[in-house]
Amino acid sequence: MQAARRLAGVDLDLVVDIGAAIAGVGLTAIEVSLTARPGGLIAAAPLWLLVLLPVLMGAPLALRRSAPLVMWIAIWAAIALQYGVTGHAPQGLELFVPFAASYSLGAQTSLRRSAVGLGVIAVIVIAAHQGYGLIGILAFWLAGVLVQARSWAASLTAKNAMLQQEAEQAAEAERIRIARELHDIVAHHLSVIVLQAAGARASGSAGWTNLEKIENSGRQALAETRRLLGVLRDPSGQTGLAPQPGINEIDALVTSVRAAGVPVHLVISGDRAAVPAAVDVSVYRIAQEALTNVLKHAGHACANVTIGCADDAVTIDVTDDGSKQPANPNAVDGHGLAGMRERVAVFGGELRAGPRPGGGFAVHARLPIGDGLARTVELS
């Protein structure tokens, strides 16, 4: 349901509901006064009924939004009272109340609950041989259902647009974060080049060892620069000065997650020292985000983290059992996964994430490394 609309501190929905109740009481009172005259349909009705009926019929409309089923039952109890005492169903101006109630039932409650309420009353109306009134009630109920469907569709569209905007903002923030990290890495490699060149010049001869170090550092800096050009820079131009975490810091990350109450089994294989710095940082960030999602969404779960360092790529697998409960589908495409996708895209890698058949969630990422990587991220 949409939030109550307000104007200058006044709840407009409440004003409309009270207005509907006043209209119901007034129209019912007018109809009762007309039909209670000599020769009228309810002329023989007792005085107490003539006095109470407008209130019993119209007042429940004030609950049309806050308690539509209570309103529906109360109005039809009043109608049943009128029919039981006088033998006549509502007519004329009185029909405003059941018609307004049927519209409110369709517009303000779920389709299943409103259909059940309508069905029960339909049986009573047909049994009372008032089929003509049922047609009007059904028409107003359908109108209410259609209004509610349009309202829900508009609300869903607005919510999806908001989620899309939040996802885009999260992706942009992650790109800025990646750019900062790559900035630090590039600056480090260029500093090494400068120092190695200065050392070779000071020694008076450029030995093969120094030249090889300069070449390797230059290649690393070139590759990271190409990646840096593929992501957004920080608009403020600020970069972090703290050392960037990598695969070596994943042990400490897992320890902190265990301290938060989630058992984690960690396996790291391969030569982690050969992993380029930019990939090293992203492996840590992906594992960090995946474990954060386990803390947020998996409840009392156990997690497994497997890092594989090979010559051509680094793989990251993070799984949890979700306490053997099906994973929350609303958490499948959150902001954390958007950030993971950004990181994987920078390296031309791949990411798979989703619920596991037996419950829980699984994240698999592959980050290519090597000379071929630099070519995959060149700007066209």
pLDDT of residue 63: 92
Q: Residue 307's beta-bridge partner residues?
A: 268, 316
Q: Which fold does the domain 247-376 belong to in CATH?
A: Heat Shock Protein 90 (3.30.565)
Task: Please check the confidence at residue 161 and state whether its pLDDT lies above 70.
Answer: yes
pLDDT of residue 38: 61
Q: How far apart are CA 356 and CA 373, in angstroms?
A: 31
pLDDT of residue 166: 77
Q: Any idea where the domains of the chain sit in the sequence?
A: 6-129, 163-229, 247-376
Average pLDDT of 253-270?
A: 88
- pLDDT tens digit string along 83-120? 888 777 788 888 899 999 999 998 988 888 888 888 87
Q: Which of 165-169, 268-272, 276-280 has the lowest mean pLDDT?
A: 165-169
The SS3 assignment for 126 reads helix
Q: Which of 70-84, 87-101, 291-305 has the lowest mean pLDDT?
A: 291-305
Q: What is the DSSP letter of 269?
A: E
Q: Which of 222-226, 273-277, 282-286, 328-332 has the lowest mean pLDDT?
A: 328-332
pLDDT of residue 335: 56
**CB-based contact 60:105 (threshold 8 Å):** no
Mean of all residue pLDDT scores within the chain: 77
- pLDDT tens digit string along 173-189? 777 777 777 766 776 66
pLDDT of residue 330: 43
